Amino acid sequence: MNVQPSTRSIPRAAPETLGLRPEGIRGFIEAVEREGVALHSFLVMRRGHIVAEAYWKPYRTDLKHTLYSLSKSFTAITVGIAEGNGLLSTRDRVVDILADKVFGEDANRDRMTIHDLLTMSAGHETEPLPWPLNPPLTGDFVADVLARPVEHAPGSKFAYSNGAMMLLAECFLRKTGQNLSDYAREHLFTPLGITDFDWERFDNGLDTGGWGLRLRSEDIMKFGVMLLAGGQWEGRQVVPAAYVDRALSKLVSNAGGPMENPDWQQGYGYLFWQTAGGMVRGDGAMSQYLILSPKDDLAIVTTAEFNRMQEILDLLRQYVLADVAPVAAVAPHGEALVFSPELARPAGAADISRLTAVNGRRFSLSDNIFKARDITFKIHGEVVTVAMHTPDGMETVRAGLSGWVTGPTGLSALPLHLASACAPQCRLISGAAAMREDGMLVMEWRFPETAHAYRLECDLLSDNPTIMITSSISGMEPSYPSLRQIVPARP
C-alpha cells in the first residue's frame, strides 16, 4: 500500500481566540522557571491550532527528543491500525502467537491476550523485568518473560510492565511480518507527515515497543490532534474511530497501586493513563507528556528532564486549564504565544581568567566514561573548547560562558539512558560553562536529542587536578543508573 505523506503543519492562532487566557499560559512559564522545573519544550493546542509554544535553549523545534514510555501510546495506536487492517485482533492469545516460546503449564498465562498486554493487566503481580534496563538485556528475553509466573487472571490486576511490551512487540512482528516502527512509518507517521523519527531496537532486531521512540514535539502534537479527531487527519481515517475511543477509555482500574500520585490512579486504557478532570494522557519518564482533554478539544505536549511528574500536571491545572472557556463558533486568528527561555546553565562567573595558566595544556586521564586518554582546554573569548582523544578519534565539545553552544559530537549518550537497547547515536552536544568561586570550572554537556546531560567539575589549578563527571539523573531516583566518576588528570 502506497501512502501519500501529509505536508500539513499545525496552524497557529492566538490563545484568546480559542478560549484560553494568555496570562494563564505566561503564568505557567513563569512558575516553571521559578520552581526549577526543567522543561525542554511546551506546546498547547486547541481546536486544531497551536496557541502557545516554548523551547528551552539548547532544545529546538527541529530536534527529536527521547520519549521514554510515551512511546507506548504510539505502540497502542499502531496496534489499532493493524487490527483495522485485519492483521491481528486484540482478542488473540499470546500463547497462540508465541507457541514456540511457551514451556510448562500456567493457566493464567495461557489466557493472556493482546488486550491484556495493552491494558497492563497481563496478570503478573509485579514488573517481570528489572528496571531500568541498563545494561541492556541479553538472551531470549521474550521467552524469559513468558516463563515468569502469572499470579492473577489476565484482566484482573493492573501491573505496569515493560515485559508486557516486549511480548506485544514480538506478537506484532509475528502477526504482521513487520516491526512496530516499520509498520508505524507507513501507516501512522507517513499519513501525519512525520518523517524524522527513530525507534530503538534490541540487538536481536526486535523493536523495544515500550520506549525508545524519538520525535519532534510538534510531531507528538500531530498525533494528539489526530486522536482528538477520532483518528482522522486531513479527512483520512488513519486509525479506526472505535479503536481510538477504546484506547482512550478507562478499561482497567489502577487505584490502590504502587504509584501514589493521584493522576496515576484514575484508570488505564490501551497504554494511555486516565487523568483527573476528564483528561487522558500518554507519558514517559522525566515528564514526557501528551495530555488530551477531549471535552475541550485541547492537547498539551511537554518534553523535560524532571522526575516529579505530578507537579507539572498540578501547575498545568493551576495556570493553563483553570479557565478554559467554551468556544461556540471557532474563528481562530492572530499569533500564537512564542517563548524562548533558556535551560539553567552552571552557576558561577563568566570570567575564567584564572585558568590562563592551563589554557592549551593537555592532561592525561585515568579510566573514564568517555574512554578518553587525554583532555585539553582552550579558552577563546566566551567559549571553552575541550578536546579529547578517544578510540574513535578526536572529540571536541564547545561550552559557552554566556550561553549554550551547540555542535556535532560522536560521544555516546547511552550511559545516561534509563533503558539501553540499540539507542540511536546522538548527533549534537550543547555545552555551557562557568567558573565557581573555589576556582572550579563547571561545565554541562547536554545532548539536546535526549533528556540528559553530563556535568563536569574540573579542578585544574590544584596540585592534584581532577575532573568529576556526573550524570544529570544521578540521585533523582534510587533505581536510576548513577554515574559519578572522579578522574585524575595529570598535566
The per-residue pLDDT for range 219-246, each reduced to its tens digit, is 999 999 999 999 999 999 999 999 999 9
In angstroms, the Cα distances linking 201 to 209, 413, 472 are 9, 16, 24
Q: Tell me the HSE value of 330 on the side-chain side, using a 13 A CA sphere.
A: 10
* Axis crossing angle, helix 162-176 with helix 71-84, rounded to the nearest 10: 30
> How many angstroms separate the CA atoms of 290 and 349, rounded?
38
Whether 475 shows a pLDDT value over 80: the answer reads: no
Q: What is the pLDDT of residue 473?
A: 84
C-alpha cell belonging to residue 230: 477520532
The mean pLDDT of 471-491, rounded to a whole number, is 80
Encode burial over 55-88: b for 16+ CB neighbours within 10 A, e otherwise: bbbbbbeebbbbbbbbbbbbbbbbbbbbbbeeeb
C-alpha cell belonging to residue 455: 556535568
Q: Give me the residue label for grid cell 547515536.
A: 425
C-alpha cell belonging to residue 171: 506478537
Q: Give me the residue label for grid cell 575564567.
A: 352
Q: What is the pLDDT of residue 136?
A: 58
> How many angstroms separate the CA atoms of 282 and 71, rounded?
8
> How many angstroms separate the CA atoms of 110 and 356, rounded?
69
> How many angstroms separate the CA atoms of 169 and 187, rounded?
16
Read off the pLDDT band of 415 (50, 70, 90): confident
Q: What is the pLDDT of residue 193?
A: 96
Q: What is the pLDDT of residue 467?
A: 96
Q: What is the pLDDT of residue 181?
A: 97
Q: What is the pLDDT of residue 143?
A: 92
Q: What is the pLDDT of residue 402?
A: 94
Quickly count: other Cβ atoms within 10 Å of residue 268's Cβ. Answer: 24
Q: How many residues does the chain have?
A: 491
Q: What is the pLDDT of residue 281?
A: 98
Q: What is the pLDDT of residue 202?
A: 86
Quickly count: other Cβ atoms within 10 Å of residue 267's Cβ. Answer: 18
Q: DSSP code of 477?
A: S
Q: Tell me the HSE value of 77 on the side-chain side, using a 13 A CA sphere.
A: 27
Whether 5 shows a pLDDT value over 70: the answer reads: no
Whether 355 shows a pLDDT value over 90: the answer reads: no
153 within 8 A of 111, measured Cβ to Cβ: yes
Percent of the chain with pLDDT over 90: 79
Whether 109 shows a pLDDT value over 70: the answer reads: yes
Q: What is the pLDDT of residue 351?
A: 84
Q: What is the pLDDT of residue 320?
A: 97
375 within 8 A of 362, measured Cβ to Cβ: yes
The mean pLDDT of 288-317, rounded to a whole number, is 97
C-alpha cell belonging to residue 154: 489476565
Instruction: Give the list of residues 6+ apart from residue 130 with CB closer than 8 angstroms, or none.
Output: none
Read off the pLDDT band of 323 (50, 70, 90): confident
In angstroms, the Cα distances linking 93 to 109, 111, 112, 176, 243 are 9, 7, 6, 15, 19
Q: What is the pLDDT of residue 428?
A: 96
Whether 478 shows a pLDDT value over 90: the answer reads: no
What's the pTM? 0.95
Whether 275 shows a pLDDT value over 60: the answer reads: yes
The mean of the pLDDT values for the chain is 92
Q: What is the pLDDT of residue 260?
A: 80
> How many angstroms separate the CA atoms of 355 and 377, rounded?
9
The per-residue pLDDT for range 46-81, each reduced to its tens digit, is 999 999 999 999 999 999 999 999 999 999 999 999
Q: What is the pLDDT of residue 422?
A: 57
Mean pLDDT lowest among 1-10, 180-189, 214-223, 347-356 = 1-10
Q: What is the pLDDT of residue 479?
A: 66
Mean pLDDT lowest among 223-237, 343-357, 429-443 = 343-357
All structural domains of the chain, each given as residue ranges with its CATH number in brackets, are 15-86+163-339 (3.40.710.10), 353-490 (2.40.128.20)
The per-residue pLDDT for range 124-168, each reduced to its tens digit, is 998 887 666 655 566 788 999 999 999 999 999 999 999 999 999
Whether 21 shows a pLDDT value over 90: the answer reads: yes
Percent of the chain with pLDDT over 70: 94
C-alpha cell belonging to residue 476: 533523582
In angstroms, the Cα distances linking 439 to 157, 362, 472 are 56, 18, 22
Instruction: Give the list of residues 6+ apart from residue 460 with CB closer than 8 angstroms, or none.
Output: 355, 358, 363, 377, 441, 489
Q: What is the pLDDT of residue 423?
A: 60
Q: What is the pLDDT of residue 173?
A: 98
Q: What is the pLDDT of residue 41?
A: 98
